[in-house]
């Protein structure tokens, strides 16, 4: 089956412009995550959606960042008034959470490389 | 809440063994391990739940000591395909399903 897909794969934008990054999770996966990975760095958690619950936004670095997930499927990460420090690879992941006291593997998309000039 | 990984980088010759450590200051429910090759997305290796279990996957295995809030990834008889950056992801609450990843360990296997 299809994996997690993200678009665009690359995005170059000018400082101050807004950008939207899209994530299509694996069909049926109830959980969706956004991470940011700067060059040579680890994965920085941004936001987490699970089913109809309120998203966990605790990782968003500023109020310029927001995300939504429509219909429990596709998600869009929006960065307003982009800054050069926003340049990074933005990774989306999804997982199938079926309840109970377990932990679930995450399937990652290929990422969107954002460059702010 | 970010776990600490060590070493930051390691170079091995084919056939050698390596251990990568992951340590958290928080009580953990689970530890995930992922491998990321250059320019690619991270790929899941294994999950360890609290209970001190050890898991294996071919010649890659891991342990989880919940009392010490530590996990170790063991790579034995390394192959060229093992090269990549290894990340541990820690889950600190039951049911949160939210991971905090370490900064990664870059493993290079040379012939």
pLDDT of A99 over the 70 cut = no
Between B39 and B54, residue with greater pLDDT: B39
CATH number of B4-110: 2.60.40.10
> Residue B84: pLDDT band by 50, 70, 90 thresholds?
very high
Between B97 and B49, residue with greater pLDDT: B49
Domain boundaries, chain A: 12-95
Spatial separation of the C-alpha atoms in residues B62 and A87, rounded to whole Å: 34
Tokens 């491998």, located at residue: B35
**Other C-beta atoms within 10 Å of A116: how many?**
19
Structure tokens belonging to residue B89: 């992801």
Between A70 and B84, residue with greater pLDDT: B84
- What is the second-level CATH architecture of the domain A12-95? Sandwich (2.60)
Spatial separation of the C-alpha atoms in residues A18 and A10, rounded to whole Å: 15
Task: Give the pLDDT confidence score for residue B52 in this predicted structure.
Answer: 60
Q: What is the mean pLDDT of residues A22-51?
A: 91
Task: Give the pLDDT confidence score for residue A36 in this predicted structure.
Answer: 96
Q: What is the mean pLDDT of residues A18-29?
A: 95
Residue A2 half-sphere exposure, CB side, CA atoms within 13 Å? 10
Q: What is the mean pLDDT of residues B45-71?
A: 83
Closest CA to A87 of A22, A32, A41: A41
Residues of B in contact with A33 (CB under 8 A): 98-99
Task: Give the pLDDT confidence score for residue B50 in this predicted structure.
Answer: 81
Structure tokens belonging to residue B95: 């049911």
- C-alpha distance from B15 to closest chain A C-alpha (Å): 26
Residue B3 in contact with partner chain A when CB distance is under 8 A: no
Structure tokens belonging to residue B35: 């491998």
> With a CB-CB cutoff of 8 Å, which residues 71-90 of chain B face chain A?
87, 89
Spatial separation of the C-alpha atoms in residues A74 and B48, rounded to whole Å: 29
Task: Give the pLDDT confidence score for residue B59 in this predicted structure.
Answer: 86
In chain B, whose CA is at the least distance from the CA of A91?
B41
Task: Give the pLDDT confidence score for residue A101 in this predicted structure.
Answer: 57
pLDDT of B79 over the 90 cut = yes
């Amino acid at each position: 089956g299809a994996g997690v897909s993200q678009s665009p794969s690359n995005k170059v934008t000018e400082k101050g412009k807004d950008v939207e990054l899209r994530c299509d999770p694996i069909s049926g996966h109830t959980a969706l995550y956004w991470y940011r990975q700067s060059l040579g760095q680890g994965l920085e958690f941004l936001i987490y959606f699970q089913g109809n619950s309120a998203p966990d936004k605790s990782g968003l670095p500023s109020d310029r960042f927001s995300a939504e997930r429509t219909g429990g499927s596709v998600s869009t990460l929006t960065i307003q008034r982009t800054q050069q420090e926003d340049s990074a690879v933005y990774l989306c992941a999804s997982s199938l959470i079926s309840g109970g006291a377990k932990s679930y593997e995450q399937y990652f998309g290929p990422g969107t490389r954002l460059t702010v000039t | 809440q970010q776990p600490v990984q060590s070493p930051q980088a390691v170079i091995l010759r084919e056939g050698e063994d390596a251990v990568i450590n992951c340590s958290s200051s928080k009580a953990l429910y689970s530890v995930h391990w992922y491998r990321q090759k250059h320019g690619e997305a991270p790929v899941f290796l294994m999950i360890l739940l609290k209970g001190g279990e050890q898991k294996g996957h071919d010649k890659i295995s891991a342990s989880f000591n919940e009392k010490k809030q530590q996990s170790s990834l063991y790579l034995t008889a390394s192959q060229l395909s093992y090269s990549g950056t290894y990340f541990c992801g820690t889950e600190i609450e039951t049911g949160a399903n939210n991971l905090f990843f370490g900064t990664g360990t870059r493993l290079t296997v040379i012939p």
